[in-house]
Amino acid sequence: MIEEMSVLWLAGWSAPPSVWQPVIDRFSRYNSRARHQLVDVHTLLERESGIPSQAHDWLADGLWWVVGWSMGGMMALEWARTFPDRIRGVFAIGVTDQFVRSPRSPEGWDERVLRRMERRLPDDPAQVLADFDCRMFSSTEMKAGWLEQWRQSCRNQQQPDVSGLLTGLDYLRRFSFPDSLLSVPVFLLHGEDDAICPVSGARRLARTLPKAELTVWEGAGHLPFWTQPERFHFWLKERMERVTEQKTGGPSI
């Protein structure tokens, strides 16, 4: 039986929502009734702090899977804590429990780096994004040409304006996900060679969440769902089916 399913897709800092489109297209192979909502995280953050009212509106309409990458994955965790009865499960890719370096997260970013990015963005946003992009891919992925593909397919699209990028950096600076009794299943996916959010942060997060499962892909950087879309599709589908079967007693996706 093919069930109706609803999925919210949240992209990361500076990325267009359409970064998810290759994965969404694959869903039509087995569930043409799925409802997909691409979320522009920068627009949401600019409009409101905290949990946006738009999230309330979406999640009030049925049960949702929430798939988030990087900053979008951090937002997905916060939404799941606020709306545990409206979310079937969270898929968080390239996510850590705290982005900025601290005694708890020694692998995090030095806050001074974010400050420098903030100062440079108004005058040279293209170079700031280019520098950031170089950190998103592993050496293996760089040799395979993924950075150039990213520039051609995603950076050629309209980018968030500078105010949206600055708001996103402020969110990353403040983000800290505490030890939580989060009741929603959380599936973490991480590239072993992620230089944006090192895998040690994901391992720590997996230990603190009661219903978390961590998968690490060897040789992958910060964008494993984009560099390996077919593999990611099956990873996602398998876990959605597992959660659905546990709740209904039989397959329904």
Residue 1 pLDDT class (50, 70, 90 cuts): very low
124-172 pLDDT tens trace? 999 999 999 999 999 999 999 999 999 999 998 777 899 999 999 999 9
Structural contact between residues 10 and 67, judged by C-beta atoms closer than 8 angstroms: yes
Output Rg (C-alpha) for the chain, integer angstroms: 17
2-27 pLDDT tens trace? 467 899 999 999 999 999 999 999 88
Q: Is residue 49 predicted with pLDDT exceeding 50? A: yes
Report pLDDT for 250: 53
Q: What is the pTM of this model?
A: 0.94
Q: For each of the domains in the chain, give its residue range(s) and CATH number, in order of start.
A: 6-248 (3.40.50.1820)
The residue ranking higher by pLDDT, 243 or 50, is: 243
Residue with tokens 């390996």: 228
CA angle 139-71-32, nearest 5°?
A: 90
> Strand 64-69 relative to strand 6-10: parallel, antiparallel, unpaired?
parallel
The residue ranking higher by pLDDT, 222 or 244, is: 222
168-180 pLDDT tens trace? 999 999 999 986 7
Average pLDDT across the chain, whole number: 92
Task: Work out the burial of residue 223: count CB atoms within 10 Å of its CB; fewer than 13 is exposed, 13-18 middle, 19 or more buried.
Answer: buried
The rounded percent of the chain whose pLDDT value lies above 90 is 77
Q: Is residue 208 predicted with pLDDT exceeding 80? A: yes
Give the Å distances, CA to CA, from 245 to 3, 144, 248: 12, 38, 5
